Amino acid sequence: MELGQLEILLNFSQKCYNKSRMLSSFWQSGLQINTTTFTISNTENMFMAVGCDTIAYFNGYKQEIDRSFAMGCMSVCMNQSDVLNGTCSGIGCCQVEIPKKVTNFTLEASSFENHTEVLSFNPCSYAFIVKKGLFRFSSDNLTKIEDRTLPMVFDWTIGIEKCEHAQNKPGYVCGGKNTCYNPENGYGYRCSCKKGYDGNPYLRQGCKDVDECLLPNFNNCTLQKTCYNTEGNYTCSCPKWHRGDGRKDGKGSGGVGFIVLLMIKLRERFFRQNGGSLLSQQLSSQENAVETAKIFSVEELKKATNNYHENLIIGQGGFGTVYKGLLSDDRVVAIKKSKLVDKSQIEQFINEVLVLSQINHRNVVKLQGCCLETEVPLLVYEFISNNTLFEHIHHKGSLSPISWETRLKIAAETAEALSYLHSAASPPIIHRDVKSSNILLDGNYTTKVFDFGASRLIPLHQIEVATLVQGTLGYLDPEYLQTSQLTVKSDVYSFGVILVELLTGEKALSFDRSEEERNLAMYFLFAIKEDRLFEVLEQNLGIERNEKQLKEVANLARSCIKVKGEDRPTMKEVAAELEGLRKIDKHSWVNVDSNSEETKYLLGETSYPYKHDATIKSGVVYDSMKDDAIVDFNGER
C-alpha cells in the first residue's frame, strides 16, 4: 500500500430470495464520510457485482461539483456452467472502474426477476467495493460469498485545499527538505521528500539525505569509487586518463538523440499496430476519401490541444475524454482520446473510421480524421458549440429551458439520423449507446448525433450481431440484455427513452424515485397504464396548447420501449411519424387542438389511452403495430 492510503474492511450489499420468490435477506452497504480528507482510491479499488440476475448501483458524492451521482453494472447468466472462472466480464460477474474524488457512497444490489430462473444455484445479488486483485470470481460465488467483509482502500490528504492555497496558511506542514504536491485523487495536499532525500515527510526533520554512492542503483557513475555524495545529490569523477562528467550516459547530445530515435520508433510501431498502413491503403483507393478522413500527426493534435490541457476538456465518459482543439487552419475540432482499444479489432476499427468519414448527414457529427501514432488511436470530429441534450433537459439552472416545439425538432432530427445509420449507410450501423448525453446541439438547436465508440457495423445479409452486452443503464434494451443479440431495434429502445426524457424532463435512471420506478421507461409505462400521462409531463411544454401532439409522441415513445424488439417500430417509421407531426404543426390551416375532419384524418383516430401505434407518411396513417395492450415492464423480460 502506498504512502497516503488507508485500508479498511467493508461489508457488501446483498439481496436474496427464497423459493417463493420472496425477499429472504437484504442489506445495503455504504460509508458516509463528512470530510473530504478521505476519498475512495480510484486506482486501487473496483466496484463489482455478482449474480446471474443482478443489477448493482454505486451511489456516490463529489464535493467538487457538490452533487450526487450514480453508476452501476449488470451481470446475467442462465446456467452456472456458463461462468468462466477468474473472469468478470458480465457473465455472472461485472466490474466498473471507480471515478476520482468520491468522498462518500452507498451500494445497492438488486434483481430483474427476483432470481426466478436461477434460484437453484444463485439466490442472491451482491454488490461491493474491493481492492484490486483480492477478489477472484468463480462459479461457487453464485451460491454464496463466504467473506462478509472485503478490503478496500481510501486515499487521504491533508485538509481540503491544494498546495498553492494551503502553503500560505497556518498549519501548513510541508517545507524544508520536503515538498508539497497535489494528488490526482483528493481535495487536499500531500508532502513528499525532495529528490535526494528519503524518510517521513510529515515528521519534523523526517527527510534525511540519501547517500547515493552507497546504493549503486541510485547513482549513474561509471565506477562506484568515483562517486561523491553531496547534500541532496551526488557527483561523479572520471578515472585517470579519461575526461567527461563521469556518468554512464554522459550529458552530450548522444543521449538526447537516442531518446528522439526511440520516440520515432515507438510512434512507427503504434502506427503499424493501429492499422495505419491498412487505412492509408484504403484511403488511397477511394475517391475524395483523403479530403474527408485525414491522418493527423501526434504533433498536430498536441499543438491543437495545448498538449491536452485539462482546461480544454469538454467531455468525459466511459470510453474516454474529449478535448476542444484548434487546428493550424483555424478549424475548431473535438478530439476524442479513448481509454483503450481491442487490438484484435483493428481491421474493424479502420473500417469504422472509413465508413464514418464518408457519412455526410446534417444530423451526424462529422468525423474529420484520426491519429494512429499513439498507443490508443485519437479521433477528430467537428466541434459543436451548444452542449448536450442531457445538459439542456436536466441542468435547468445553467441553461435556458427548451420549448416543446424545439424538443419535437430535436427528436425528429435524432430519429432521422438514426434512420440514416440503419437504412442508408452501407453497411448499416448500430449506434449502441444512444442517449441524451450523446446528442449535441449547435447554436440553432440543430441535432448532431455523437460518440460511435461503442457502435457496431452490421455485416451484409445479417439482422443481428452477437456481442457482449454494452451500453448505458436506463437506456439499455432489455431484450439485448437477456439475449446478447444486438439489433437495430436496440437503438429504437434507447431512442424511446430519449423521447420520454423530452416529455417528462426526468433522467433515464433516478434514485429520487422508488425502486419500482427508478428506471424511467418503467416509470413512464406505469404512468400511462394508470392514465396519469399529464401528471408526469414536464410542466413548461404548453400542455393545453400541445395536448394532441404530446399524446401522439407519448404513444410513439411507448411503442419504442416495448420489451420485445419485434413489437417496436423501425427508426424509419419513427422518423416519418415525428416529421409528420412537425409538418402538421407548421401548417397554419391545421389546428392540432381542433376537431376538424382533416386533423382527425392526419393524426388518426387514436384516443387516450392508446390502442394503436400509427406512423404518418405523407398525410396518410401507416399502421406499423398490431393492436397490443401495454406490457408490464416487470412481467415480461
Say which range, 55-69, 282-296, 562-576, 615-629, has the weakest mean pLDDT: 615-629
287 and 344 housed in the same domain: yes
Say which range, 201-210, 382-391, 586-595, has the weakest mean pLDDT: 586-595
180 and 142 housed in the same domain: no
Q: Is residue 263 part of a domain?
A: no
Q: Is residue 254 part of a domain?
A: no
Q: What is the DSSP code (8-state) at residue 221? A: B
192 and 279 housed in the same domain: no
173 and 123 housed in the same domain: no
617 and 545 housed in the same domain: yes
Full domain range(s) for residue 464: 389-623
CATH code: domain of residue 501 = 1.10.510.10
pTM metric for this prediction: 0.59
Q: What is the DSSP code (8-state) at residue 453? A: T
Number of domains the chain is built from: 4
How do 13-17 and 124-131 pair as beta strands?
antiparallel
343 and 407 housed in the same domain: no
15 is annotated as contributing to ligand binding:
no
| Cell numbers that stand for 68 in this block | 450526487
How do 197-199 and 190-193 pair as beta strands?
unpaired
Q: Residue 170's pLDDT is what?
A: 87
In sequence order, the β-bridge partners of residue 23 are 17
Is residue 570 within 8 Å of 422, Cβ to Cβ? Answer: yes
Q: Is residue 233 part of a domain?
A: no
Q: Is residue 520 part of a domain?
A: yes
Is residue 189 within 8 Å of 161, Cβ to Cβ? Answer: yes
324 and 418 housed in the same domain: no
Say which range, 68-72, 443-447, 618-622, has the weakest mean pLDDT: 618-622
565 and 439 housed in the same domain: yes
For the segment 622-626, the average pLDDT, to the nearest whole number, is: 31
For the segment 379-407, the average pLDDT, to the nearest whole number, is: 85
pLDDT in tens, 249-296: 654 333 444 445 556 666 677 777 766 666 666 666 555 443 556 888
Q: Is residue 181 part of a domain?
A: yes
Which of 53, 155, 433, 451 is flagged as catalytic?
Answer: 433
Q: Is residue 232 part of a domain?
A: no
203 and 130 housed in the same domain: no
pLDDT in tens, 328-345: 999 999 998 876 666 656
- Neighbouring CB atoms inside 10 A of 224's CB total 12
587 and 453 housed in the same domain: yes
- Neighbouring CB atoms inside 10 A of 307's CB total 9
In the listed set 137, 156, 175, which residue is the last one of a domain according to the structure? 156
**Looking up cell 563521469, which residue turns up?**
246
pLDDT reading at 424 higher than 50: yes
Catalytic residue list contains 66:
no
- Higher per-residue confidence, 252 vs 65: 65
pLDDT reading at 209 higher than 50: yes
479 and 334 housed in the same domain: no
Q: Is residue 537 part of a domain?
A: yes
